[in-house]
Structure 1
Amino acid sequence: MLFNTYEFIFAFLPAVLAGYFLLGRLRLTLAARLYLLAASLFFYAYWNPVYLVLILSSILVNYLVCLGFWRGVGRRKALLVAGLVFNLGLLGVFKYTDMAIGTANGLFGLHLPLQHLTLPLAISFFTFQQIAAVVDTYRGTTRPCALHDYALFVSFFPQLIAGPIVHYTEMVPQFRRLRAFVFSNRNVAIGAGFFLMGLFKKAIIADGIAAYVGPVFGALSYDHLPSFIEAWGGTLAYTFQVYFDFSGYTDMAIGLGRMFNIRLPLNFDSPYKSRSIREFWRRWHITLSRFLRDYLYIPLGGSRCSFPRRLFNVMATMLLGGLWHGANWTLVLWGAFHGAMLWIQLLWSKLHRPLPGPVAWAVTFTGLAFSMVLVRAPDLATTMAVWKGMLGFNGFALPLKLLHKWGPVAAWLADHGVTFTTLAPYWRRSKEIQHLAACLVLVLAFPNSQEIFARYFRPSRLWAFAYAACAVVGILALTKVSEFLYFRF
């Protein structure tokens, strides 16, 4: 079930909130948790009931592994390895089988048939979440809980589909607090604000600029190489689309959790304001960065080792982070691209002084834009074509007004091999450029959603008007529902 649907907003959510707080008011806290668990499993099964068996099996196996640690069984390392093999094997079978077969066919000239397994909903998120729980339990940082509490921790519907990736110690204690079952006007108001802000980001901004992405990245199928402006326009549109789509989902998830008196961790902190790639990864998909740091980078040795080994740890972490994003070699290259940018930053910090703030931001954002092509492009050929367009090798497309105004300059550039054409029909209207400029202003000028509510929220008519405006505009835009980019992940 999608957050941005009438069924969720007007049927599922009110019913779950009413039942949960009614049971809480009757002091039936166990029944309230079981009701929320049942609602979360229904939410997951709404897309395809078959995969309910998968998530329940995953929950049961991982709970038994954690239970073994809690009860002090012998051979703890063997139990840990078994838990990790189960989780990674489950993820590998459903997500990477066809990638492995296709790679083997290409390398060795085989003709093995692809399996075309349907990717279960949210398998990347609930698998990583449970890997963290198993490792934390092995380290002794978690306390025992009942099976239904563990199942609720994994399947809590606001963050189940696309995060944030939460820790056992963050969630289970919250489900046990008595005040979690008491209706809070303030929490519901703040939660509704988060939800409506996320809905606006998704339905209005992300979906609004999505139409500018396809014509550029799909142009190669029509034997058209994107020009400089087309390539940059499509790339910036996708860069902003990913941010507003994913951060919009996170805002909605945080808001839904807050309505149930559950605080989910911050997952985005104005990432496009970053002045280094390292800072970017502290602001973008924060809970994934935290997972990769705590369960991969630090166990590999982190930064407390020789400089060459540190470079290896960085690259290995980013390669696996790229692979987690999808079964496509372009995403592995995306991880390598980010690893290379982190290498450059580490080497630069050793050899040179930091760049001035605006220059550092421009360099970082440009690198991020180039990396986003690898995420959106279906193959390496498309990636190279868009990159060439961004670098000007596919020619430039400028408005006729500029050509008339700067005719001598254009003639001189043409004599030196730089050719100009009239603006392509896709870019003839100024609306696309205005939208992209507005998106750039939004990501640079406005604080993150959490900061907005922490600093500025006060119950008032102005906030009520803002809520109403977001609700009306966002809900009216739901006549054409689109999936979140991280929906089937």
Structure 2
Amino acid sequence: MLFNSAEFIFVFFPIVLFGFFWIANRFGNESAILWLVLSSLFFYGWWDPSYLLIILSSMVCNYQLGRYIYNLKSKWLLTAGVAGNLFVLGYFKYAGFLVFNLAWLTNSDWSIENIVLPLAISFFTFQQIAYLVDSYKQVTEEYRFIHYALFVTFFPQLIAGPIVHHKEMLPQFQSDNAFRISATHIAIGISIFAIGLFKKTVIADGMADYANPMFNAADAGSAPDLLLAWSGILAYTFQIYFDFSGYSDMALGLARMFGIILPLNFYSPYKARSISEFWRRWHITLSRFLRDYIYIPLGGNRKGQGYRYLFLITTMLLGGLWHGAGWNFVIWGALHGGYLAVHQGWRLVSERHTWLQLHASVAWLITMLAVIVAWGFFRATSFDGALSILQGMLGLNGVSIPMAILARLGETGIMLQSWGITGYHGGASHLVTAWIYCLLLIPVVVCLPTVQDLFRHHRASLTNTEETTGTGFWIAPQFIRKLAWQPALIWASYSSLLFIIGLMTLGQVSDFLYFQF
């Protein structure tokens, strides 16, 4: 069941939401929590009921382990618990990939039966690993299994995050205010959900029509030319941005209607002026997990610059593998690890030699080019396809323009052909439309405020961050203040319009890109 489906919006969510508050009022808070857990399990099992056995087994084992770890403060139990979680994740997600590569290396005929990847296993596994570590540090403790089950399964963030900590969520559900329906929470939640729905169904799914054909053709052996390669990869750059941003907003909005505030997971990453800033804005809770549970335990900044670069690359390699069992994800992670190492080195040098410091706009352009190149490997399903796209972006596959456009250019068209630019029949409208949409979306992602900014006076997330004059040169804070959400007719109209436009696309429901991870 998808957030952007009619059965979720018109049936499942209204029943669960109002059932939660009615049960809390009639039978008490614990009964309402049980209702929400059962509803979340129903939501999870909608895709395949067999998934329920995996998530229930995982919850029972980790709940008991967490209690033992907290009481005994046993590092051995913690290690065993983390290893057990990673083993289960590794089996379902990486066993086939590992066997395939071992067979290729040894020239053998080894094989393994097709293993179906359980939905959201990466997210709920990392979330429970964080719980075990927090139990060992004695910063959190859980006495009731039903509360722990709610922490793991709460459906607004179950499938694709954010990756939350026990100490962030359960105190909110232990407050009596969470069990009383609030018109303010409902209004804020619907407004945020409407914005996210529009981002996903209108913008992200719309850009998929221009990204998918180019990537599919490249993976099939085609060599896209300069204009086609750039239009396709830019379309995907915006598709994944608005797909993940839309999901993140919808999760925030759904949770808010229950009176629950989630951590911020996405904050205008295409405004970043360095790759480090990009990762402070993109998939924020995953970045937090990688930093706290991989990078810092490896040694972080404590063992000198050389080791720091090694730890950065190692962390991002694992982050790439987290996204999927494929060499494309390994390369994507390695690229971002290399980017981070280069950025740290450049930052150290430029602090000593200030003339090397880049203007903000130049730093932004370099950052975006690096991110876009990495997206090519992230999206392509084959290494050859990704290389073909990169060659096309460099002009190595030539430059072609639809004949319909060349004919209208007159003498200019003839001159372009004399320079080696070729023409082809068909596709003019598709190419021109793709470029128009991409150019229009650039100012949208670098200039407009986000949900975090628009709801800054109403705490859109648990994270206290905002664009300021010192950090956000793309947008003036006073402009954000003028657009800020308020319980008024104008915002009700905006939200209704976005919601209605989003609903008009429900006949073409598509998965969120991060559901596959």
TM-score interval w.r.t. the shorter chain? Answer: over 0.9
Matched, 1:136 2:134: yes
Residue type of the alignment partner of 1:477: T
Verify the 8 A CA contact 1:23 1:32 in the aligned structure 2. yes
Q: Cα deviations across residues 242-283 of structure 1 (Å, max 9, x unaligned)? A: 111111111101101000010001111100010100000000
Aligned to 1:112: 110
Which of 122, 125, 130 aligns to 1:124? It is: 122
Decide whether aligned partners of structure 1 residues 32 and 221 sit closer, same or farther in structure 2, where only a CA change above 3 A counts. Answer: closer
What secondary structure, in the 3-state scheme, does the structure 1 residue paired with 2:86 have?
helix
Residue type of the alignment partner of 1:38: L
Aligned to 1:244: 242
**1:411-450 → structure 2 map (5 Å cutoff):** 414=419, 419-422=420-423, 425-429=426-430, 430-450=432-452
Q: Tell me the matched-pair count.
A: 482
Which of 499, 502, 506 aligns to 1:478? It is: 506
Aligned to 1:215: 213
What secondary structure, in the 3-state scheme, does the structure 1 residue paired with 2:21 have?
helix
Aligned to 1:49: 49
Residue type of the alignment partner of 1:286: I
- State the alpha-carbon separation in 2 of the partners of residues 101 and 223 from structure 1: 26
What secondary structure, in the 3-state scheme, does the structure 1 residue paired with 2:89 have?
helix
Q: Cα deviations across residues 382-435 of structure 1 (Å, max 9, x unaligned)? A: 0110000001100112441686454686367x3xxxx31226633444222121
Verify the 8 A CA contact 1:270 1:448 in the aligned structure 2. yes
Residue type of the alignment partner of 1:373: G
- State the alpha-carbon separation in 1 of the partners of residues 44 and 444 from structure 2: 33
Verify the 8 A CA contact 2:207 2:235 in the aligned structure 1. yes
Which of 148, 151, 161 aligns to 1:150? It is: 148
Cα drift, residue 178 of structure 1: 0.6
Matched, 1:453 2:455: yes
Matched, 1:194 2:196: no
What secondary structure, in the 3-state scheme, does the structure 2 residue paired with 1:486 have?
helix
Cα drift, residue 222 of structure 1: 5.7
Verify the 8 A CA contact 1:191 1:255 in the aligned structure 2. yes
Aligned to 2:463: none
Decide whether aligned partners of structure 1 residues 290 and 401 sit closer, same or farther in structure 2, where only a CA change above 3 A counts. Answer: farther
Decide whether aligned partners of structure 1 residues 221 and 68 sit closer, same or farther in structure 2, where only a CA change above 3 A counts. Answer: closer
Residue type of the alignment partner of 1:24: A
Residue type of the alignment partner of 1:60: V
What secondary structure, in the 3-state scheme, does the structure 1 residue paired with 2:400 have?
strand
- State the alpha-carbon separation in 1 of the partners of residues 505 and 13 from structure 2: 19
- State the alpha-carbon separation in 1 of the partners of residues 231 and 301 from structure 2: 38
- State the alpha-carbon separation in 2 of the partners of residues 427 and 359 from structure 1: 32
Structure 2 segments unaligned to the other structure (5+ residues): 351-355, 457-480
What secondary structure, in the 3-state scheme, does the structure 2 residue paired with 1:487 have?
helix
- State the alpha-carbon separation in 1 of the partners of residues 408 and 392 from structure 2: 20
Q: Cα deviations across residues 79-111 of structure 1 (Å, max 9, x unaligned)? A: 011101111011001000110011101111011
Decide whether aligned partners of structure 1 residues 119 and 374 sit closer, same or farther in structure 2, where only a CA change above 3 A counts. Answer: same
What secondary structure, in the 3-state scheme, does the structure 1 residue paired with 2:130 have?
helix
Q: Cα deviations across residues 163-193 of structure 1 (Å, max 9, x unaligned)? A: 0110111011111111000111111111111
Aligned to 2:346: 348
Verify the 8 A CA contact 2:221 2:385 in the aligned structure 1. no
Decide whether aligned partners of structure 1 residues 64 and 221 sit closer, same or farther in structure 2, where only a CA change above 3 A counts. Answer: closer
Aligned to 1:315: 313
Decide whether aligned partners of structure 1 residues 187 and 408 sit closer, same or farther in structure 2, where only a CA change above 3 A counts. Answer: same
Decide whether aligned partners of structure 1 residues 407 and 201 sit closer, same or farther in structure 2, where only a CA change above 3 A counts. Answer: closer
Verify the 8 A CA contact 1:197 1:251 in the aligned structure 2. yes
What secondary structure, in the 3-state scheme, does the structure 2 residue paired with 1:395 have?
coil
Matched, 1:7 2:7: yes
**1:149-188 → structure 2 map (5 Å cutoff):** 149-188=147-186
Q: TM-score, normalised by structure 1?
A: 0.95
Structure 1 segments unaligned to the other structure (5+ residues): none
Matched, 1:361 2:364: yes
Aligned to 1:88: 86
Larger displacement relative to structure 2 (372-381 or 110-119): 110-119
Verify the 8 A CA contact 1:70 1:144 in the aligned structure 2. no
RMSD, matched Cα:
1.6
Matched, 1:464 2:492: yes
Verify the 8 A CA contact 1:325 1:331 in the aligned structure 2. yes
Cα drift, residue 24 of structure 1: 2.3
Aligned to 1:203: 201
Aligned to 2:375: 372
